[in-house]
Amino acid sequence: MKKLLMICALLFSVITFAQAQQGQGGGRMGGTPEERAKRSTDMLAEKLKLTDDQKAKVSALYLEQGEKSKKLREEAGDDRDAMRAAMVKSNEELETKITALLTADQKKAFTAWQEERKEMMKKRQEGGGPRPGGR
């Protein structure tokens, strides 16, 4: 009985510790809108060699997008189709705004990177392949 109790206590400790390690969001792009905006901006800056001015503007766009997404999720409630449609539209608007900030070479690289990500996501949905972002 003592062994069983010890095993349960140990298992509980491990689970609690593992959940604490995941942090606030825990999901694939978890965290606050600010943290997600920073991660997205850093990734884009690395891929496209953004200037400091571009980084600041892109970061502001990602932060605005994060707040907008949060609001859309709250408004949509359980209507996943409506939320998905609104998010797709919102993401297209974000893409247009980001593209407007880029040079011609950066636009080409951005388009290529997006196609690469779409292919990776398609492969994942089909059952395998790496995650977007290289993780």
Nearest-10 crossing angle of helices 33-48, 104-127: 120
128, 119 Cβ separation under 8 angstroms: no
32-38 — which CB contacts under 8 Å span 24+ positions?
Answer: 33/63, 33/66, 33/67, 33/69, 33/70, 34/63, 34/66, 36/62, 36/66, 37/62, 37/63, 37/65, 37/66
Higher pLDDT: 115 or 21? It is 115
pLDDT > 70? residue 19: no
Domain boundaries of the chain, sorted by first residue: 31-126
pLDDT in tens, 36-77: 889 999 999 999 999 999 999 999 999 999 888 888 888 877
pLDDT at residue number 22: 47
pTM for the structure as a whole: 0.67
> Tokens 């942090």, residue?
23
User: What integer is the mean pLDDT of 95-101?
Assistant: 93
